[in-house]
Copies of this chain bind each other. A is one copy, B any other.
Amino acid sequence: MHFRFTTAGESHGPALVAIVEGLPAGLPVTAAFVDAQLARRMQGYGRGARMQIEQDRIEWMGGVRSGETLGSPVAMRIANRDWANWKDVMDPEGTPGEHRRRQVTRPRPGHADLVGVLKYDRDDARDILERASARETAARVAAGALARRLLEEFGVGIGSHVVSLGGVRAEPPAALPSPLNDAADRSPLRVLDPHAERAMRGRIDEAKAAGDTLGGEVEVVAEGLVPGLGSHVSWDRKLDGRLASLLMSIPAVKGVEIGLGFEAARRPGSAVHDPILPEPVRGASVRIGYDRLTNHAGGLEGGMSTGEPLVVRVAMKPISTLMTPLATVDLGTGQAAAAQSERSDVTAVPAMGVIAEAMVAIVLADAMLEKFGGDSLGELRRNVEGYVAALRARRAGA
């Protein structure tokens, strides 16, 4: 089985929708659990007024009964709170005339606006940006929350923290706190280095004053994985490619790296690969009776989980909507113009971490279902436990 997810909905349309399939029956879920993830997505110093408007709540449309999944597709609806104000402009069946009021003809560099209207042959970039908007990631986070819920049952925890923002690099502690989010969520920028955080806030304030925007980098860590998720046998089953696919598809993400990442390209092999030890030392891989002194591989070898923490880093470019607008072209006149600007955030890097966690959760849940099958939570648990017991028995017999 696979974890499938589909999203729909425009930023100022009536709602966002997410449908998730593949969860076993009997998984306990609550709207509150999903909403808590949605709330985490809205945090972060440097966000604009919209974040107050959006108090995202899911409404179950299917797949859940009496607090448990049924095995059928789980459908969630997230109402757009601002819909009432946009109804005329975004009305599915209104007259185009009305829509012109908020027509966007001066495409923002860096956004989907220009290429979108060319590809889809539209004369209003709003027809593009409403879907290309990062608002869509709320539906992804809702889907990811269900994946996270499943992984929790198997002791897998996923967290993230901001490692750089606006050019300021954090120095996180050598040993990350666990659970990671207990610490990271306490920081307004989700940074584990108070000193750097202060500098980042300064940068945000400066950028805001200049009408500019900022990007940054986030690190996501998943702990508690069994070894052997993913596969080396075909390109589309390697876990690293699957992670990169979902992470790079997050709006504004321009880079993804695993473990040492780009740094691994600079070191000799003797300083990259993680020696294998016959006895548990750090304890991370204690389940299988082998251990590593380092985890430069970021928990993946041969496209498969090693049992060590999975570590990925994601780079986000600055938001494309600047209050001090960039040069562009007016699609109506063909002349130079200043890009459209709506009120916007200065940075969304902390939020991006939450989205990236969701993407990682989805890939890992997918890989669990692929390896273990299982139509009920009990069946999945039996299959996972049988595998772990066999690994232990094998080690004992070595």
Say whether A55 faces chain B, with CB atoms less than 8 Å apart.
no
Chain B hits for A90, CB < 8 A: 65
Chain B: minimal CB distance from A140 (Å) = 7
Identify the closest chain B residue to A110 (Cβ): B273
When all copies of this chain in the complex are counted, the total is 4
Contact A61 B77 (CB under 8 A): yes
A245 touching B241 by the CB < 8 A rule? yes
Q: Which residues of B contact A9 (CB under 8 A)?
A: 61-63, 73, 75
A375 within 8 Å of B by Cβ? yes
Cβ B8 vs Cβ A264 within 8 A: no
* B contact residues around A77 at 8 Å (CB): 61, 77
- In Å, the complex CA distance between A75 and B256 comes to 31
CA gap between A71 and B125 in the complex, in Å = 13
Interface check A231, CB cutoff 8 A: yes
Residues in B neighbouring A188, C-beta threshold 8 A: none
Q: How far is the CB of A250 from chain B (nearest CB, A)?
A: 8
B322→A233 contact, CB < 8 A: no
Is there a chain B Cβ closer than 8 Å to A220's Cβ? no
Interface flags for A29-42 (1: CB within 8 Å of B; 0: not) read 01100000000000
Secondary structure at chain A's binding surface: helix, strand, loop or mixed? Answer: mixed
Query: Is A46 in the interface zone, CB < 8 Å from B?
Result: no
Partner of A213, one of B1, B61, B269: B269
CB of B8 within 8 A of CB of A265, answer no
Within 8 A of B (CB), among A43-59: 59
Query: In the complex, which residues of chain B have a beta carbon less than 8 angstroms from the beta carbon of A213?
Result: 268-270
Question: For residues 228 through 275 of chain A, which have their beta carbon under 8 Å from a beta carbon of chain B?
Answer: 228, 231-236, 238, 240-249, 251, 253-262, 264-270, 272-275
Interface residue ranges of A165-181 to B (CB < 8 Å): 166-167
- Assess the B31–A398 pair: CB atoms within 8 A: no
| Complex alpha-carbon distance, A131 and B184, angstroms | 40
Indicate if the CB atoms of A122 and B25 lie closer than 8 Å: yes
One of B118, B121, B233, B276 near A327 (C-beta < 8 A): B276
Judge whether A379 and B373 touch: CB under 8 Å: no
Task: From A2, A63, A269, A306, name the one whose CB has the most chain B CB atoms within 10 angstroms.
Answer: A269
Q: Determine if B268 and A207 form an interchain contact, defined as CB atoms under 8 angstroms apart.
A: yes
Residue A315 at the B interface, CB < 8 A?
Answer: yes
**In the bound complex, what is the Cα–Cα distance between A120 and B210 (angstroms)?**
57
Q: How far is the CB of A210 from chain B (nearest CB, A)?
A: 8
Most chain B C-beta atoms within 10 Å of own C-beta, residue among A7, A15, A95, A276:
A276
CB atoms of A318 and B61 under 8 A apart:
no
CB-based nearest B residue for A276: B328
> Which listed residue, B110, B302, B391, touches A116 by the CB 8 Å rule?
B302
Which residues of B have CB within 8 Å of A4?
6
Q: Does any Cβ of B come within 8 Å of A84's Cβ? A: no
B383 and A128 contacting across the interface, CB-CB below 8 Å: no
Contact B375 A121 (CB under 8 A): yes
Extra 11 A-B pairs, beta carbons < 8 Å, given A109-B301, A118-B394, A276-B327? A10-B72, A24-B120, A30-B93, A67-B96, A110-B273, A110-B301, A128-B232, A217-B262, A242-B245, A262-B315, A265-B315
Complex A-B: 30 CB contacts under 8 Å: A1-B371, A8-B63, A14-B62, A16-B62, A21-B233, A31-B93, A62-B131, A65-B91, A66-B98, A70-B127, A72-B130, A107-B276, A112-B301, A112-B303, A113-B302, A114-B306, A115-B227, A119-B376, A216-B265, A238-B249, A241-B245, A241-B248, A254-B260, A254-B265, A261-B315, A265-B317, A290-B329, A372-B373, A373-B373, A382-B390
